[in-house]
Amino acid sequence: MIAPSISVVMAAFNAEAYVAEAIDSILKQTHADFEFIIINDASTDKTLSVIKRFADERIVIIENEHNCGLAASLNKGIRLAKGKYIARMDADDISSLDRFERQYNFLESNTDVDVCVTPMQLFGSENNASGEGLVTDNDIKAELIWGTPTNHATMLMLTEKIRTNNLYYDESFGVGQDWKFWYDVRDYVKIYGLNELLYFYRRGDHNVTVQFKDKSKQRSLRMHELLLRDLEISFTQNDLLLHQFINGQFSIKPSPESVKSARVWYNKLIMQNKAILKYEVNSFEETAAKKWYRLFFLITPYGFKTVCAYFISSGVSWNHFSYYLKYRVNKILGRKSI
């Protein structure tokens, strides 16, 4: 029997409300040469019965006897996969019908690339696009030190790379296994971001990101500690919180002092990467600069002195200055913040 070109791996747990839409978007793909491995992770609702309604020979159903978690379920699916490529899919999301065709054709035409990802459109409780603009391997990997560098569920990846280098999901990460996965694979693969919206990511109260906010914070600390050690930079617990501060995670309240300290940490990061060349220098600096630029809009509500500290530490740009003026006028007039 000829192996399929793609093995789609999807784990589902209590996803009865949305799993049919997810499955339907895969079965209607314009690139039809795939197997669809669905792991029911011991759901207690009607997820399994919904899955079984689909009479398609490409579907392979795996039933976990007990709830194993997402990482373990995905690993099980990958180990069973027969395809040249692994495609990820989440049980509450939707893939564009030409997603596999676009990604497969790209990888087949660019054999130096091992992983193809795409931006995704959020829908449900949020409706913005995510992951746009990160295209090159260097840019994607430079994002890693701040957070999950690309949209994991959009990936199409060479199966051989996973198996040859034992690049399975870290099952100790109940939440955030995607970030750790990119950390583990980065030295073994070349990644490319196909800048086309081919995936639709549902946000709502059911969503893992929403349900496990506290665990996500712990995951973030764990990953940032790992990545800073990897950069061979000395850091205190306060430095770790300043790193997250720059990334818009305010365990430390924005103030003139915290902004000044964050800028010192920012400069230390830049110098350390220049010294050991862990990440491509231009990509690393551009990524860090985007984080610092975005930080201004997040600290604006914390007072004039905090804004001044930002300007003193990094200069005044017209975009920031005009934004602050509009913010102040709106606040005086009792309007909603911009």
Q: What is the pLDDT of residues 185-233, one digit of tens each?
A: 999 999 999 999 999 999 876 555 544 455 667 889 999 999 999 999 9
Residues of the chain below pLDDT 50: 210-212
Measured between alpha carbons, how far is 135 from 152 in angstroms, rounded to an integer?
14
Q: Domain coordinates of the chain in residue numbers?
A: 6-210, 231-332
| Cβ pair 266, 292 in contact under 8 A | yes
Measured between alpha carbons, how far is 83 from 305 in angstroms, rounded to an integer?
58
187 φ/ψ angles, rounded to the nearest 5 degrees = -85, -5
Looking at the chain, which runs of residues are DSSP E strands? 6-12, 34-40, 59-63, 85-88, 94-95, 115-117, 120-124, 129-130, 156-158, 191-193, 199-203
| Cβ pair 35, 78 in contact under 8 A | no
- How high is the pLDDT of residue 213? 53
Long-range contacts from 195-198, C-beta under 8 angstroms, 24+ separation: 195/118, 195/119, 195/132, 195/133, 195/135, 196/102, 196/118, 196/119, 197/96, 197/118, 197/119, 197/120, 197/121, 197/129, 198/95, 198/96, 198/98, 198/99, 198/102, 198/103, 198/118, 198/119, 198/120, 198/154
- How high is the pLDDT of residue 214? 58
- How high is the pLDDT of residue 189? 97
Nearest to 185 by CA among 135, 217, 149: 149
Tokens of 30: 């314009």
- How high is the pLDDT of residue 135? 86
What's the full length of the chain, in residues?
338
| Cβ pair 97, 25 in contact under 8 A | yes
- How high is the pLDDT of residue 70? 95
Three-class secondary structure of residue 172 per DSSP = coil
Three-class secondary structure of residue 8 per DSSP = strand
- How high is the pLDDT of residue 215? 67
Using a cut of 0.85, tell me whether the model's pTM lies above it.
Answer: yes
- How high is the pLDDT of residue 212? 46
Three-class secondary structure of residue 87 per DSSP = strand
Tokens of 326: 């509009």
Measured between alpha carbons, how far is 232 from 241 in angstroms, rounded to an integer?
17
- Could you please state the CATH topology (level 3) that the domain comprising 6-210 is classified under: Spore Coat Polysaccharide Biosynthesis Protein SpsA; Chain A (3.90.550)
